[in-house]
Amino acid sequence: MEKLNVVVLTSDIDLRIYIKNRIIADDIVIAGYSDFSDAAKLKILGMFPDVVLCAVAGRVGDDIFQFVQSLLCDVHGCVVVLMTDSMDVELASTAAQFGIRRVIPFDISSEDLEESLRKVYFLEQQRLMDTNASKRVR
């Protein structure tokens, strides 16, 4: 089975360590870490991520959403998941508007985090296959 490449985006070194310790499954690999700078987009492109995990403590600013939207235009075929400690309905709605597929809390168990990453990637791949199939039918 192919391994799921995950790139972790966060400016907080403690969050990088926290996430690294939470992802322990053999089929999920952290391909790298980056921040939300413009130079990071090129770095992320070279990592060929399947999933980009954005980890933000506190308020998620508009700059994060703009970065994600720009990233999704450049890195095709990947899916973005937001991990935060400030979950609410408004945040989930805003995240969806910018292309983030799932919002999860920091206190999620390792097993649930890994399963969420697998599931969101699988659903995205399924959606892409369905879209391509419908284009051929037309």
Tokens 């939470």 correspond to: 22
What residues are paired with 86 via a beta bridge? none
- Quick one: which of 68, 90, 93 has its CA closest to 81? 68
Q: Which one-letter DSSP state was computed for residue 86? A: -
Question: Structure tokens of 101?
Answer: 């597929």
DSSP letter string over 30-50? EEEEE-SSHHHHHHHHHH--S
Question: Structure tokens of 107?
Answer: 């206190």
pLDDT in tens, 95-130: 999 999 999 999 999 999 999 999 999 998 888 786
pLDDT in tens, 22-63: 999 999 999 999 999 888 888 888 899 999 999 999 999 999
